[in-house]
Chain A
Amino acid sequence: MNADCRPALTLRQDTVGALAAMQTVFARDMKVAFRQRQDLLNPLLFFVMVVTLFPLGVSPEVSFLREAGAGILWVAALLSVLLSLDHLFRHDFDDGTLEQLVLQPQPLFLLVLAKTAAHWVLTGLPLVVLTPVLGVMVHLDGNSIGVLCLTLLIGTPVLSLIGSIGAALTLGLRSAGVLLSLLIIPLYIPVLIFGTGTVASAAEGAPAGAYLALMGAFLVLALTLAPFASAAALRISLFNG
């Protein structure tokens, strides 16, 4: 890795409060990401390609695609988030930044939350932005596309948050990528079920509010619990607990 791509992290302990530290971590992750733009594009390309495989591999029929489209997009988004999770802590782990982060006086779970937020802005959010285009390609109607975007907007942060636990647990292990998928996919299943369930019920004309509220509940639960679990897992991976 090119060293000057990665600015050092500076959080002076006496002056920097927790919120300011979160901002610093977030801003640094953004800066690092925009200096390596290809890494940003890869999950999006993957998303588009996986979606392309379904009409080619299963059936290009409009009726099939309209039926399965939301599910295909959700699965593709899930896989592409999964693929990008390896980057969440890996580079910082390799160059020692992560150790510095853990040693900061600010609570680690807040810093992890900032990193996860940056990860979502860089991968989850672009997927949501791209969804309408792909939604049209799989012949979803306008209403379904709207609801689908909404579910992905609520759902992808949950994916990033749960994923951060897996990324922290598998840090520095051999074959971490496969292991990460094994650990995380079972935990993604409820999000997937409710994500596609919302679109399906909206397509039948039922109000999607209840489903969306449940997904919001998932988001709140993940937001409150996942950073603690990832912080604990990071400490374990770095310093044996």
Chain B
Amino acid sequence: MWQFFHKLGSPKWFFGIAARLMPWLLAGGILLLMAGIVWGLAFAPKDYLQGNSYRIIFIHVPTAFLAQSVYVMMAVAGVVTLVWRMKLADVFVKSVAPVGLVLTFLSLFTGAVWGKPTWGTWWVWDARLTSMLILLFLYGGVIALDRAINDEKSAARAVAVLVLVGVVNIPIIQYSVEWWNTLHQPSTFKLTEKPSMPAEMWVPLLLSVLGLYLLFGWLACLRMQTEILLREQRTRWVKDYVLAGRV
């Protein structure tokens, strides 16, 4: 167990593992996402109230799901950065923060597109929308702070502190805006209860959530590999790797 943990600290080791994992992540991700979306868009039953417009849920929910869990993953990596000073953790935070930003934006955008036919407006100052907007700001702040600090190590640790402060704030933001104003429906999936929609609807939704997770894993590996190559460009193994013509 500890050996694995120590190995995880080695960028070179991770680079190799990522290269082996990535084809599987990509294939699995595309397969599940395609299955979920085709099933959801073409074969799942119509909603009795919203008709076909509800089908955007098969894109909206996975992006929103990922947007939030990417932030939590970043917070875990932030703890690892601060406590164990593991290089890979901060490579992870730096690589996935822009992905999280884009996912948050996509979930807000698809939400707006869905809101227009359903609520009759692109935007409402509702709890869920507002807290996602704040999540977007938090991602923006993390990226801006990372770009502003030139020294790699202090950037990593400063960003870790910021991400952790943000994660303390996320439940507070969530509840404050919830008590303040609410229109959005409650979560689709809960750990403890059965989904409130029929299986023909939630199974494809679950497939596309899982597919997007795998695709995110692929993208994270890819971006982390790039970052590792940049940071380790002066080391022997990167030179050998590049000279072997594999980049």
Contacts and interface: CB of A to CB of B under 8 A. Distances in A.
Interface of A: 162, 165, 169-170, 173-175, 179, 182-183, 185-187, 189-190, 193-194, 197, 218, 221, 225, 229, 232-233, 236-237, 240-241
Contacts of B13: none
Interface stretch (B43-51, B113-121, B148-156, B215-223): B148-156
B161 A233 contact: yes
B67 to A, nearest CB: 15
B165 A229 contact: yes
Interface of B: 82, 85, 134, 137-138, 140-141, 144-145, 148-149, 151, 153-154, 157-158, 161-162, 164-166, 168-169, 172-173, 176-177, 179-180
Nearest to B173: A190
B148 A187 contact: no
A240 B168 contact: no
Contact of B144 (A162, A165, A182, A236): A182
Contact of A182 (B82, B140, B154, B172): B140
A175 to B, nearest CB: 7
A59 B178 CA distance: 30
A241 B157 contact: yes
Given A187-B166, A190-B169, A173 B149 contact: yes
Contacts of B85: 241
A197 B149 contact: no
Given A185-B137, A229-B161, A170 B169 contact: no
B169 A182 contact: no
Given A179-B144, A241-B153, A186 B158 contact: no
Given A182-B137, A237-B154, A240-B151, A187 B144 contact: no
A218 B169 CA distance: 10
A170 B148 CA distance: 9
A170 B145 contact: yes
A237 B145 CA distance: 12
In the A-B complex, the 4 residue pairs with the smallest Cβ-Cβ separation, listed nearest first, are A190-B176, A186-B137, A183-B141, A241-B157
Given A169-B158, A173-B148, A193-B176, 17 more contacts: A165-B165, A174-B148, A179-B148, A183-B141, A183-B162, A186-B134, A186-B137, A186-B141, A193-B177, A218-B172, A225-B168, A229-B164, A232-B82, A233-B161, A236-B161, A240-B157, A241-B85
19 contacts: A165-B165, A169-B145, A169-B158, A182-B141, A183-B141, A183-B144, A183-B162, A186-B137, A187-B169, A190-B169, A190-B172, A190-B173, A190-B176, A193-B176, A193-B177, A197-B180, A229-B161, A237-B154, A240-B151
